[in-house]
Structure 1
């Protein structure tokens, strides 16, 4: 075991002594990263990790600073930005990243990014062409 590995383990043990909690939140985040385009909610995620939904909510917020729902939305918005930059139309982007309706997607996108998906896509294509 190298010196640095020992130091990392020491910090981990000091700061994150409960590996069960870490496994739960890291596993949940990993699951979200791989399935963000599906319908995900706290009940489902807690069942995947075999834990109480309230406990999962507290742990996720403690370690990542946001709720699982906020994280899912951020993940979906980031993927939507990539698809919109590639020229995917807004409706297809909406459903591909896991939103239920184009209007709710557009509203949420604008509140998070400051531009509607159409405006974002126009700026992205303008930037590409210049």
Structure 2
């Protein structure tokens, strides 16, 4: 795929699917985040390390990552090199009719694995060629839209999911990734298992036997973000799952580690886009 020396942003959206092919001369700033939708991330160019849970992926041309709606992730840019990628976000419900008819398991590569494991899919040269052809067809939909474009986008994407699952099922060996530094991994493990506890820097310092200033510096050097933002997003993720599973807003607030109810409402709305009560109602409806 040719890399161009200009900014562009090709988007195509249906109610359940968003396709975004962009090239940026200046890479953006990113923090830890997660989505209600699933994500397919195809890397083209840039100087990027991609973090998913406790794994770090140094990205190279044609690397492909799959991310479900429970996996915290972010891009860390190592320099100001131009950045190009293709990202697809989709509702899992989009593929359910196909699964029910054909019994194939189009979401297997997103769900049949441990969180933060096997996110990278290795494509053989013929599979990569097939994927690039699908991307080219989707790009053309935006350039020459028609009344059939939404239907064709969905059809191309279903074809893409078949390709990804075929590659996933034939190669479950760990691919080129690295864990975060060992010292930091113990901190992340503690945070994951104690989200409903006090997680101030003072507390973490005592629990993991690491100076708080060194811990903050190590975290930023390794992830490009702050430990506070990581904890916040982990708690939001926990709250979303609790609400999805039927817990009320008060219980979700407490069980996710938010001691201040009004702060929980405010932060949830800022990050998710809607208040937690509305989020729960939507999921249950």
TM-score, normalization: structure 2? 0.37
Task: Select 1:116's aligned residue among 256, 259, 275.
Answer: 275
Find 1:81's aligned residue among 240, 246, 263.
240
Q: Following the alignment from structure 1 to structure 2, what is the Cα–Cα distance between the partners of residues 86 and 121? A: 9
Shift of 1:77: 0.5
Displacement after TM superposition at 1:103 (Å): 1.1
Cα distance in 2 for residues equivalent to 1:56 and 1:78: 23
Instruction: Report the counterpart of residue 91 of structure 1 in structure 2.
Output: 250
Secondary structure at the aligned position of 1:108 is classed as: helix
For residue 38 of structure 1, the aligned residue among 172, 178, 197 is 197
Q: C-alpha distance in 2, partners of 1:36/1:64?
A: 19
TM-score of the aligned structures, taking structure 1 as reference length: 0.77
> Counterpart in 2 of 1:26?
185
> Number of aligned pairs?
112
Cα offset for 1:85? 0.9
Q: How far is 1:23 from its partner?
A: 2.1
Q: Quote the offset at 1:102 in angstroms.
A: 1.7
CA drift of 1:70 comes to 1.2
Does the 8 Å contact 1:77/1:109 carry over to 2?
A: yes
Give, in whole Å, the separation in 2 of the partners of 1:123 and 1:43: 38
Identify which of 68, 82, 85 aligns with 2:227.
68
| Greater helix content | 1
Structure 1 unaligned segments of length 5 or more: list them: none
5+ long unaligned stretches in structure 2: 1-173
Q: What is the Cα deviation at residue 47 of structure 1?
A: 2.1
How far 1:48 moved relative to its partner? 2.1
1:31-72: CA deviation from partner (whole Å, max 9, x where unpaired): 101111111111111222222211100101111232222111
Contact conserved, 1:90 with 1:102, CA < 8 A, in 2? Answer: no
Q: Which residue of 1 aligns with 2:259?
A: 100
Matches within 5 A, 1:46-65: 46-65=205-224
Which has more strand, going by share of residues?
Answer: 2
